[in-house]
């Protein structure tokens, strides 16, 4: 804009203008005030300034350092003076031009912006845009994106000018899709691989390979699944070695997923199954051992097996087995009258296979049995009421009815037994017989029959005692005189008490005593006569007389003892006589003093019995004669008659004192006799 085009303003001097409010500038009212309140010197300087330009936007710079004035009323603080420096504005201009150049170059040379393919309405989109978006999708090189790229180009009409190029690219991408599906298959996604492969357009050469590829995939996958299922079946049987052998076969499967992840997962499953299987073996061992503690531990172990374990089904089969054993153990505890132990065990019975309901019924029966254990009518009626809580459709309904019938029979037996006891209180035979008849109304099938039988037996014993006591008392009176005739009469009297009667044992004891007295009367004189024979040395006669006492009668054992002693005495005497004769003969032979006599003497002395009192004397004589033999043999050896010396020394017996030295001499003489 030229000076002529600028708007004209009224030209007047600052000093002649009326005082008016200055316009605000940059939030600094203080500076504006100071610009109007100048000192006299400043005023003088102002009046000496040249006249104001007629262009109000022209800048006037005062000499003072306090303020910068724009137009006739704007004061600029000193800190903003740099805005008026032309160097600064030149730098700004250079930077601006450079930035504009860079933006322009980028706009001319840069890659154009990518299209927003997902937002495009394809029926109206140009072919070039389809190609662009197809290339973008294919560049991601995944089966899904490649199929999207193929779909974009395959929708072009057959007569389109770019159809040939589109078919070329579709062919290339179809091959890539088939390669990608192979990778998907090796990653373990069979269904995705098959689905992607079957989306390949039929006009491509890759399409011809699809079904063959799919069949191979399905065959490989089926083989791997079969191996996995076989291993799983082995694990359910706890056959871990066979399962591992099947797992190793996965390493030969033509699929990376099954060779790596599938194999690793199966090995982990085998390890877990082995650990769980060992736990189940321990649970089964405890369950077989029995006992409440073992059963509870076995149940806890079986229940700890997780659902994803391959031996979970085995654990689930063990749990009902353990539960059934818990019910059996609880019943055993009830039979032992351990109510608390039974109830504690029943509260832990697992809720499987109707066992929990059975445990609940058994708990009710346990409490009922506890009341019945008291044995009186009131408690039995309470037990019946308790058992009647078990409805007819419950697992133990039949057992409950059996217990109810049993307890009702017991109530009946208690009543009849009480009536019988009331009758038997008088103690006479008629009342006792009536009591027996009343108690006999309790049948043999009644659970209280054993108690009734004991009571009936007691009453019968009382009747028999009343009837048989006079007979036994009369027998005692007969036997009191002690003579044989009286004792025989007592025995005859006592024998009237028949076997099975209450006093039969007592009568038999008396009969045995009286029989012994009669036998003693006959046998004691016999034994005394035998002892008299023995006292005068006639042991043979003593033995003959004592042997007359019959076996089993009085004094028989005493007679046998005496006979053994007498026979031993006779034997000792015989042995002593024989030994003395042998020793006498030996001494006579030894008196000859030659080797033959000494050898014969030694042989005779050795016939003395080891049990004889003369044996020590005989051994001493043998030692003496052996030394004499050795001396004779030594004399013969001195005369160089080694053969005779050896023959004499060999007659020395092995048990004699000279035997060892004789053997040494024999060896020495034998060595001399063979010398040249």
With residue 586 as reference, give the H or E element that holds it: helix 556-590
Say what the pLDDT of residue 117 is. 76
User: What's the chain's average pLDDT?
Assistant: 80
> 39 versus 189: which is more confidently predicted?
189
Say what the pLDDT of residue 474 is. 92
Separation in Å, CA 642 to CA 82, 373, 649, 660, 667: 158, 102, 10, 18, 11
Residue 56 tokens read as 């109000």
φ/ψ of 434, rounded to 5, equals -65, -40
Q: How large is the average pLDDT for residues 257-282?
A: 91
> 240 versus 60: which is more confidently predicted?
240
Count the alpha carbons within 13 Å of 665 in the hemisphere toward its beta carbon.
26
Say what the pLDDT of residue 506 is. 92
Give 38's pLDDT tier (boundaries 50, 70, 90). Answer: very low
Give 78's pLDDT tier (boundaries 50, 70, 90). Answer: low
Say what the pLDDT of residue 66 is. 36
pLDDT at 92 over 70: no
Compute, in degrees rounded to 10, the torsion defined by CA atoms 478, 480, 486, 490.
50
Say what the pLDDT of residue 147 is. 77
Say what the pLDDT of residue 94 is. 61
Residue 426, classed as helix, strand or coil, is coil
What's the burial of 44, exposed, middle or buried (CB within 10 Å: 0-12/13-18/19+)? exposed
> 183 versus 51: which is more confidently predicted?
183
Contacts for 145 with CB less than 8 Å, ≥ 6 apart: 137, 138, 139
Q: Are 583 and 621 in contact (CB under 8 A)?
A: yes
Say what the pLDDT of residue 144 is. 77
Q: How large is the average pLDDT for residues 177-199?
A: 87
The CA-based diameter of the chain, rounded to the nearest angstrom, is 200
pLDDT at 548 over 80: yes
Residue 329 tokens read as 């153990």
DSSP 69: E
Q: Are 586 and 621 in contact (CB under 8 A)?
A: yes
Say what the pLDDT of residue 319 is. 93
Q: Are 303 and 225 in contact (CB under 8 A)?
A: no
Q: What share of the chain is helix, strand, coil (3-state, %, to 5)?
A: 70, 0, 30
Q: Are 78 and 65 in contact (CB under 8 A)?
A: yes
pLDDT at 230 over 90: yes
Say what the pLDDT of residue 77 is. 56
Say what the pLDDT of residue 579 is. 85
Give 100's pLDDT tier (boundaries 50, 70, 90). Answer: low
With residue 514 as reference, give the H or E element that holds it: helix 504-535
Say what the pLDDT of residue 120 is. 63
Contacts for 96 with CB less than 8 Å, ≥ 6 apart: none
Residue 42, classed as helix, strand or coil, is helix
Q: Which of 405, 447, 450, 442 is nearest to 420 (CA)?
A: 442
Give 330's pLDDT tier (boundaries 50, 70, 90). Answer: very high
Q: What is the pLDDT of residues 417-462, one digit of tens each?
A: 999 999 999 889 899 999 999 999 999 999 999 999 999 999 999 9
User: What percent of the chain shows pLDDT beyond 70?
Assistant: 79
Say what the pLDDT of residue 31 is. 34
Q: How large is the average pLDDT for residues 596-619?
A: 86
> 154 versus 180: which is more confidently predicted?
180
Among 42-51, 95-104, 220-229, 545-554, the least confident range: 42-51
DSSP 612: S
pLDDT at 140 over 90: no
CA-based end-to-end distance of the chain: 170
Say what the pLDDT of residue 340 is. 94
Length of the chain in residues, anyone? 676
Separation in Å, CA 202 to CA 190, 265, 663: 21, 38, 119
Give 261's pLDDT tier (boundaries 50, 70, 90). Answer: very high
Q: Which of 665, 663, 664, 630 is nearest to 648 (CA)?
A: 630
Say what the pLDDT of residue 119 is. 57
Say what the pLDDT of residue 403 is. 94
What's the burial of 260, exposed, middle or buried (CB within 10 Å: 0-12/13-18/19+)? middle
Q: How would you label 128-164 residue by residue, b for 16+ Cβ within 10 Å and e otherwise?
A: eebbbbbebbbeeebbebbbbbbebbbebeeeeeebe
Say what the pLDDT of residue 3 is. 38
Select, from the ranges 85-99, 173-187, 321-335, 572-586, the one with the highest average predicted confidence (pLDDT).
321-335
CATH 1.25.40 fits 573-673, yes or no: yes
Among 147-151, 267-271, 385-389, 579-583, the least confident range: 147-151
Say what the pLDDT of residue 331 is. 92
Among 161-165, 339-343, 628-632, the least confident range: 161-165
> 326 versus 136: which is more confidently predicted?
326
Q: Are 631 and 615 in contact (CB under 8 A)?
A: no
φ/ψ of 76, rounded to 5, equals -100, 125
Residue 480 tokens read as 């009191």
User: CA-CA distance, 435 to 425, in Å (whole number)?
Assistant: 9
User: CA-CA distance, 581 to 600, in Å (whole number)?
Assistant: 14
Residue 296 tokens read as 């509870």
Say what the pLDDT of residue 452 is. 93
What's the burial of 517, exposed, middle or buried (CB within 10 Å: 0-12/13-18/19+)? middle
Place of tokens 């996958």: 221
pLDDT at 573 over 90: no
Q: How large is the average pLDDT for residues 339-346?
A: 93
Say what the pLDDT of residue 93 is. 65
pLDDT at 113 over 70: no
The residues pairing with 74 across neighbouring beta strands, listed in sequence order, are 70
Say what the pLDDT of residue 103 is. 54
Give 115's pLDDT tier (boundaries 50, 70, 90). Answer: low
Q: Are 333 and 313 in contact (CB under 8 A)?
A: no
Say what the pLDDT of residue 159 is. 75
Give 95's pLDDT tier (boundaries 50, 70, 90). Answer: low
Q: What is the pLDDT of residues 53-76, one digit of tens each?
A: 333 333 333 333 333 333 344 455
Q: Are 149 and 116 in contact (CB under 8 A)?
A: no
Hey, where are the domains in the chain? 1-105, 128-203, 573-673
User: CA-CA distance, 361 to 378, in Å (whole number)?
Assistant: 22
Separation in Å, CA 557 to CA 523, 541, 547, 563: 11, 18, 11, 10
Q: How many CB atoms lie within 10 A of CB 91?
A: 11
């Amino acid at each position: 804009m030229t000076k002529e085009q600028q708007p004209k303003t009224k030209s007047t001097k600052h000093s002649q203008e009326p005082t008016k409010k200055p316009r605000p500038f940059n939030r600094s009212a203080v500076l504006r005030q100071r610009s109007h309140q100048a000192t006299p010197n400043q005023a003088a300087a102002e009046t000496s300034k040249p006249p104001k330009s007629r262009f109000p936007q022209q800048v006037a710079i005062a000499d003072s350092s306090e303020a910068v004035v724009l137009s006739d009323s704007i004061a600029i603080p000193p800190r903003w003076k740099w805005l008026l420096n032309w160097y600064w504005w030149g730098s700004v201009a250079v930077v601006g031009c450079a930035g504009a150049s860079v933006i322009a170059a980028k706009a001319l040379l840069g890659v154009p912006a990518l299209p927003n393919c997902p937002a495009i309405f394809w029926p109206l989109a140009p072919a070039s845009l389809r190609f662009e978006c197809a290339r973008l999708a294919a560049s991601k090189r995944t089966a899904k994106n490649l199929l999207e790229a193929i779909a974009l180009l395959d929708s072009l009409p057959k007569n389109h000018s770019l159809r040939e190029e589109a078919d070329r690219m579709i062919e290339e991408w179809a091959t890539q899709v088939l390669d990608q599906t192979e990778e998907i298959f090796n990653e373990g996604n069979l269904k995705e691989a098959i689905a992607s492969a079957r989306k390949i357009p039929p006009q491509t050469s890759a399409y011809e390979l699809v079904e063959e590829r799919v069949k191979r995939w399905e065959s490989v996958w089926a083989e791997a699944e079969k191996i996995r299922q076989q291993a799983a079946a082995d694990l359910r049987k706890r056959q871990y070695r066979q399962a591992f052998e099947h797992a190793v076969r996965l390493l030969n499967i033509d699929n990376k997923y099954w060779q790596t992840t599938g194999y690793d997962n199966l090995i982990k499953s085998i390890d877990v199954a082995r650990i769980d299987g060992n736990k189940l073996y321990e649970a089964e061992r405890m369950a077989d051992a029995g006992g409440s503690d073992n059963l509870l531990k076995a149940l806890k172990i079986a229940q700890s097996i997780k659902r994803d374990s391959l031996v979970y089904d085995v654990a689930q089969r063990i749990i009902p087995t353990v539960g059934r054993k818990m019910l059996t153990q609880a019943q055993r505890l009830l039979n032992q009258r351990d109510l608390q132990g039974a109830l504690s065990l029943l509260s832990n019975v697992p809720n499987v296979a109707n066992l929990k309901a059975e445990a609940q019924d058994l708990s009710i029966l346990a409490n009922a049995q506890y009341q019945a254990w008291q044995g009186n009518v009131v408690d039995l009626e309470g037990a019946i009421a308790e058992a009647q809580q078990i409805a007819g459709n419950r697992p133990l309904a039949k057992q409950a009815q059996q217990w109810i019938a049993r307890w009702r029979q017991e109530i009946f037996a208690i009543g009849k037994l009480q009536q019988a006891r009331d009758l038997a209180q008088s103690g006479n035979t008629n009342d006792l017989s009536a009591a027996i008849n009343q108690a006999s109304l309790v049948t043999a099938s009644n659970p209280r029959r054993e108690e009734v039988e004991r009571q009936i037996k007691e009453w019968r014993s009382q009747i028999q005692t009343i009837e048989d006591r006079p007979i036994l008392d009369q027998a005692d009176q007969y036997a009191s005189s002690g003579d044989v005739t009286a004792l025989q009469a007592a025995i005859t009297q006592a024998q009237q008490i028949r076997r099975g009667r209450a006093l039969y044992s007592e009568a038999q004891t008396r009969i045995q005593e009286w029989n012994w007295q009669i036998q003693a009367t006959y046998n004691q004189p016999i034994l005394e006569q035998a002892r008299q024979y023995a006292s005068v040395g006639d042991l043979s006669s003593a033995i003959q007389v004592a042997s007359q006492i019959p076996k089993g009668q009085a004094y028989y054992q005493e007679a046998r003892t005496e006979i053994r002693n007498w026979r031993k005495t006779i034997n000792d005497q015989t042995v002593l006589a024989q030994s003395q004769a042998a020793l006498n003969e030996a001494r006579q032979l030894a008196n000859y003093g030659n080797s033959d006599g000494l050898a014969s003497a030694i042989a005779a002395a050795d016939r003395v019995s080891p049990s004889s009192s003369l044996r020590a004397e005989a051994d001493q004589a043998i030692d003496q004669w052996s030394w004499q033999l050795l001396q004779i043999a030594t004399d013969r050896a001195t005369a160089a008659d080694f053969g005779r010396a050896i023959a004499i020394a060999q007659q020395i017996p092995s048990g004699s004192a000279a035997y060892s030295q004789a053997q040494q001499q024999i060896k020495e003489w034998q060595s001399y006799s063979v010398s040249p």
